[in-house]
Structure 1
Amino acid sequence: MTAYAQHTWTTAVTTADEWLDRAREVAVVLAADAVARDRVGATPYSEVGLLKDSGLVTLLGPVEHGGGGQDWTTAYRVVREVAVGDGSIGQLLGYHYLWFWTARLIATPEQVAAVEEQATCERWFFGGAANQRDNDLVVVDEGDELVFTGRKSFSTGSKVSDVTVLAGVLEGTDKHVFAIVASHQDAIVFNDDWDNLGQRLTESGSVEIRGVRAPWSDALGYVDKQFRPRVYNSLIVPLIQLVFTNLYLGIARGALTTAAAYTRDRTRPWPYAVDVKETAVQEFHVLDTYGDLQSKLWAAEALADRAAALIEAINTHPDTVTERQRGEAAVVIAAAKQRAIDTGLEIATRVFDVTGARATANTVGLDIYWRNIRTHSLHDPIAHKRAEVGRYALLDELPEPTWYT
């Protein structure tokens, strides 16, 4: 395991472009041993340490508390850049940004200020246990405290997180409750059972919540035990869906970049062609394939950036966002996600056509890109995203807010 703590950062970053440069530096460090770390599958403590030391974990934090003060457009691009070097760590960072922002989405102004100050100053790394395909956590009201109990089959971040966002339903009601709690306590048991095809270093295994206690004052968005709803509350899903989109785009770019380097340096021209070339990069089918894949990737990235602009517009007036503004953003995000998945899987598959049989060697590691996109893109069925776009195009129908829309 590389000792990432030895990597030092000597320059301060303030602008969006500088943060993107920092993300690229992190990606280069991660890429150096990404394949080896994927094969071992060890808990990524050092990798999260790198994200902290580089400052990327505080990107969205308030400047007055030492954060980057950046917007979601920058955060999405940072996720994309980090995912070029390592898809697993890109996912961890993207989920961290979403859970860091949960207070902004749900909490009272006082809670937002308190959470963001402490999270930024102490460089919290966020995880979450809120998978809605499982039974909800049961939340019991015990006077001044809430007690969370239950099990979630996925908990991205788990042991490498400092805090975990819990979501459950208040017993005897239909009221959802979110709270941010310490990850390392006896009442939270991470089961270390994440053993999947790809995204192997995301610590996404199951978790058991055995009576986690939180004061009512930590119930996000509640005042005197009553929730204060806003349309903005429902942006949690579009935000994370666009994290997914940028994750896939970063992994796809990593595949294309790695394959291109291999083709330039190691792929041999086909000696039995009608028009034999001196190098592989002179072969027409190689140029045609890279041109096709690069064009598709640029198009998918442009659509993702368009979606981010819609989120940014909403973030300028979170308390007055309308259902239509929210719905139209969700539709464009759905379109961007499906293009990112289709393009990413195509790139991660077709790069083998232009690298050659020897590129399938385990030491090369080109398999990691397809495995990572294929694994995470099954998070929720892409067919439903296509149908959401279709209903909007045909019927001007906006998607109803759900835990997956």
Structure 2
Amino acid sequence: MRDIYALDDAARDRANKTPYDEIALLKASGLNRLFGPRELGGGEGEWPLAYKVIREVSRGDGSIGHLLGYHYMWFNVPRLAGTPEQITRIEAEATRNNWVMAGAINARDNDVVVRDEGDYLVFNGKKNFATGVKISDVTILEGVLEGTDIHVVAPVPTNQPGMITHDNWDNMGQRLTESGSTTIKDVRVPWKDAIGFTADKKFHERAYATMNVPLGQLVFGAIWLGIAAQALDETAVYSHKHGKGWGGYDRLIDEPRVLDVLGDLTAKLWAADALVDQVAQEGLELHRNPDAVTPRSRGEYKIRSASVKIIADATALEITSRIFEITGARSTSEKFRFDRFWRNARTHTLHDPVFYQKQEIGNFLLHDEIPTPGWYS
């Protein structure tokens, strides 16, 4: 998969076309069913493997790795907060029907308004960023029940008149993620699909439901490090095929300067990869025993995931900008499109300021404070 996506990654970035073919390939591979039940064609995988898959796909195309990583997060929403019945039913439907999932959830937008109509909920609103909705089969919606402060999350079929996607994703990076806006107009959802709500409309609350943030931070890290790895892969290929030596060296690949920079960047990438893998393993017991997760154990794990976000952010940005020290001025030609790696990393690392992740770690170390669960903490 990685190698297939990498074949024409630069050309597809240039064309900026909706990645229907790339998503069809992803679905044909079965990677979208990684977490699903085996008897229905799923892999019954766990998060440490998922992060590696995201990293590998991102190493071929950061946008497709991004869409896959987000799909995994949305697929896992029932596991995070759902009732046992919802977990079993929705995972079975998603696996059997080979869904790719997206989410129209952005905490920095105005809340979607949810109207209670007896057996149904009706969602209305708009989300300015809704990554992957246009290419998805099912979208996770989130809103606030009218007249209350109660948040409701539910999966809905994407292909319906009330789900209106807008072709306005024109950002400089992650160009194939279809992260533009979505309008939600009179979308009806059965109450039984409101994640975490029981038949009497009471919420099934547990600390594990707030694990979405540390999960997401490791997904982000895997995407960014995959992008950085592809940048190094293509730098090595370019150095062999097109590189011109300096300082008396005929071949670029023999220059001590080049060996030094490439060795330095590769070591940093390997160290960041190892951190993701380590923190992923640390979280395995929490995912295997969700009902045993406490606010404290969740908070301590959130601190560890913050370290992944900090290191992956810095590593990806350094690698994607410094590769030009190796490849030189000729490599800035449009035909190579090496700038896409930095554009992709820079665009997505702006998702939420890394400053606040550093602050959380500092507060934990100096004051023994764990983060209060929120959209980004």
TM-score range, shorter chain: over 0.9
**Would the aligned equivalents of 2:41 and 2:96 in 1 still touch at CA under 8 Å?**
yes
1:186-207 deviations in Å (ceiling 9; x for gaps): 1111011110010000011001
In structure 2, what is the Cα distance between the partners aligned to 1:232 and 1:56? 25
TM-score (norm: length of structure 1): 0.92
Shift of 1:277: 2.0
In structure 2, what is the Cα distance between the partners aligned to 1:54 and 1:172? 45
Corresponding residue number in structure 2 for 1:251? 227
Corresponding residue number in structure 2 for 1:181? 156
Question: Residue 186 of structure 1 aligns to which amino acid in structure 2?
Answer: P
Corresponding residue number in structure 2 for 1:376? 348
Unaligned runs of 5+ in 1: 1-25
Corresponding residue number in structure 2 for 1:156? 131
1:105 aligns to 2:105 (yes or no):
no
1:235-272 deviations in Å (ceiling 9; x for gaps): 111111111111001000010111111112211111xx
Corresponding residue number in structure 2 for 1:77? 52
1:312 aligns to 2:284 (yes or no):
yes
Question: Residue 190 of structure 2 aligns to which amino acid in structure 1?
Answer: P
1:315-354 deviations in Å (ceiling 9; x for gaps): 1210011112111111111111111111111100110011
Q: Secondary structure at the match of 1:212?
A: strand
Q: Secondary structure at the match of 2:292?
A: coil
Corresponding residue number in structure 2 for 1:206? 181
Shift of 1:303: 1.1
1:263-318 deviations in Å (ceiling 9; x for gaps): 12211111xx2xx2231111111011011101111111111112211221201210
Corresponding residue number in structure 2 for 1:285? 257
In structure 1, what is the Cα distance between the partners aligned to 2:347 and 2:372? 26
In structure 2, what is the Cα distance between the partners aligned to 1:307 and 1:161? 29
Shift of 1:380: 0.3
Summarize the alignment of residues 230-379 of structure 1 with structure 2, pairs less than 5 Å apart. Answer: 230-270=206-246, 273=247, 276-379=248-351
Question: Residue 341 of structure 1 aligns to which amino acid in structure 2?
Answer: D
Aligned alpha-carbon RMSD (Å): 0.8
Corresponding residue number in structure 1 for 2:93? 118
- Percent of aligned positions that are identical: 51
In structure 2, what is the Cα distance between the partners aligned to 1:354 and 1:86? 22
Q: Secondary structure at the match of 2:250?
A: coil
Q: Secondary structure at the match of 1:85?
A: coil
Number of matched pairs: 376
Shift of 1:172: 1.5
Q: Secondary structure at the match of 1:204?
A: coil
**Would the aligned equivalents of 2:18 and 2:178 in 1 still touch at CA under 8 Å?**
yes
In structure 2, what is the Cα distance between the partners aligned to 1:68 and 1:142? 38
1:137 aligns to 2:109 (yes or no):
no
Corresponding residue number in structure 1 for 2:363? 391
Shift of 1:72: 0.5
Q: Secondary structure at the match of 2:286?
A: helix
In structure 1, what is the Cα distance between the partners aligned to 2:138 and 2:214? 22
Unaligned runs of 5+ in 2: none
**Would the aligned equivalents of 2:217 and 2:308 in 1 still touch at CA under 8 Å?**
no
1:16-53 deviations in Å (ceiling 9; x for gaps): xxxxxxxxxx1111111111111111111001001000
Corresponding residue number in structure 2 for 1:16? none
Q: Secondary structure at the match of 2:131?
A: coil
**Would the aligned equivalents of 2:78 and 2:87 in 1 still touch at CA under 8 Å?**
yes
- Runs of at least 4 residues off by over 6 Å: none
Question: Residue 321 of structure 1 aligns to which amino acid in structure 2?
Answer: V
In structure 1, what is the Cα distance between the partners aligned to 2:249 and 2:110? 60
Corresponding residue number in structure 1 for 2:19? 44
In structure 1, what is the Cα distance between the partners aligned to 2:187 and 2:214? 28
Correspondence for 1:166 among 141, 165, 178 = 141
Q: Secondary structure at the match of 2:49?
A: helix
Deviates more, 1:124-133 or 1:318-327: 318-327
Question: Residue 363 of structure 2 aligns to which amino acid in structure 1?
Answer: R
Shift of 1:68: 0.7
Correspondence for 1:229 among 202, 205, 211 = 205
Correspondence for 2:40 among 27, 50, 65 = 65
